Structure 1
Amino acid sequence: MATSSGSSEGDDAATAWLYAGMPDDIWEGEMRAVSLGAVDVLLCNVDGELVAYEDRCPHLANPLSQGVLSEHVLTCAAHEWVFDARTGQGINPEGVCLRRYPVRLDDDRILVGLPEGT
């Protein structure tokens, strides 16, 4: 069973919770791209915890969903930048971070929190 995760940016700003699928849509160890309005989001199920990131590498904005998720390591397909999928922190290079969105489970629905107006 998947659990939800919070955001690294805090939840103080107005947040719109958008439907991103069902927990059975993304099994442990898998990732899935979803389009939530104007924002492309990458959902990852890492060790049973759901996390959500903007589906773009901070390097050249390539979709992370075209990369590889292996255990807790997310690798961008374009130039092989590597991230810790649990936190979004860069592994190589270390000084970068993915934009993370809060995730919550509401009954059998995955909801991703996006800032109002996005």
Structure 2
Amino acid sequence: MVTSSRSSEADSAVAAWLFAGTLDDVWEGEMCAVDLDGAEVLLCNLDGELFAYEDRCPHLANPLSQGDLSEGVLTCAAHEWQFDARSGHGVNPASVCLHRYPLRLDGDRIFVGVGEDE
């Protein structure tokens, strides 16, 4: 059973929930990139739990979707920065963090919250 990841951001802060695809688009252990009204989003499915991040490395903004997802670690293809795909926290270097988007499921449909009110 697939579940959505918990978000630290309240649902009320989300300006829009956008359809990002279905569970068939991101199988367990895989990742995929989607463009949601100009927001480049990376979806990751780890052991049946979904996570959504901005699809750019905080180092030089290279797309993380061009990198690798292995054993729960996202590795940027450009300079091999690594991130915990469950939390978005940096593994190497540890001082960085990915921008996480709230995510929810409606059946097998994936929705990502973009345009949070600041």
Q: Same fold (TM over 0.5)?
A: yes
Q: Residue by residue, what CA displacement relative to the aligned partner does 1:42-65 show, whole Å, maximum 9, x if unpaired?
A: 000011100000000000000000
- Whether the aligned pair in 2 keeps the contact of 1:26 and 1:32 (CA below 8 Å) is yes
Q: What CA distance in whole angstroms lies between the structure 2 residues aligned with 1:37 and 1:103?
A: 16
Aligned runs of 1:92-107 on 2, under 5 Å? Answer: 92-107=92-107
- Partner of residue 47, structure 1: 47
Q: What CA distance in whole angstroms lies between the structure 2 residues aligned with 1:28 and 1:110?
A: 14
1:29 aligns with 2:29: yes
> TM-score under structure 2 normalisation?
0.93
Deviation, structure 1 residue 71: 1.7
Deviation, structure 1 residue 24: 1.6
Deviation, structure 1 residue 31: 0.2
Distance 1:116 1:89, change over 3 A: closer
Deviation >3 Å, runs of 4+: none
- Structure 2 unaligned runs (5+)? none
- Aligned-partner residue type, residue 85 of structure 1: A
Work out the number of aligned pairs and report it. 116
> TM-score under structure 1 normalisation?
0.93
Q: Percent identity?
A: 71
- Structure 1 unaligned runs (5+)? none
Q: What CA distance in whole angstroms lies between the structure 2 residues aligned with 1:15 and 1:93?
A: 32
Q: Residue by residue, what CA displacement relative to the aligned partner does 1:79-100 show, whole Å, maximum 9, x if unpaired?
A: 0000000000000000000000
- Partner of residue 61, structure 1: 61
